Amino acid sequence: MRFGDRLKELREAKDLSQKALAEAAGFTAAAVSRWESGLQVPAFDAVMALCEVLGVRCTAFDGCEFAPAKGKRGRGRPIKK
């Protein structure tokens, strides 16, 4: 299971919107959206803040794949070879 899928599952189980989760954890709704879609992987301190709001231990994400989604690029210049 991907991290983003697990995060969405936990968020929906608490009946929180992305915006509500983001505000409670001190992030933007856009950041939560990027994490759930797999475009970005949050830093460990962000994961801990999410866990606190969701009322789960960090072990709730054990076995999750933490790599950003392949084939999806964010904005900006291409990486130089």
DSSP secondary structure letters along 18-38? HHHHHHHHTS-HHHHHHHHHT
Inter-residue long-range contacts of 17-26, CB under 8 Å, 24+ positions, other chains counted? 21/50, 21/53, 21/54, 24/53, 25/49, 25/50, 25/52, 25/53
Residue 10 pLDDT exceeds 60: yes
Instruction: Please state, as a whole number, how many other Cβ atoms lie within 10 Å of the Cβ of residue 75.
Output: 4
Residue 12 pLDDT exceeds 60: yes
Give percent of the chain with pLDDT exceeding 90: 65
Domain count, the chain: 1
Q: What is the CATH number of the domain that holds 29?
A: 1.10.260.40
For the segment 33-61, the average pLDDT, to the nearest whole number, is: 93
**Residue 19: which domain range?**
3-61
Residue 10 in domain: yes
pLDDT value of position 81: 76
Q: What is the pTM of this model?
A: 0.80
Residue 80 in domain: no
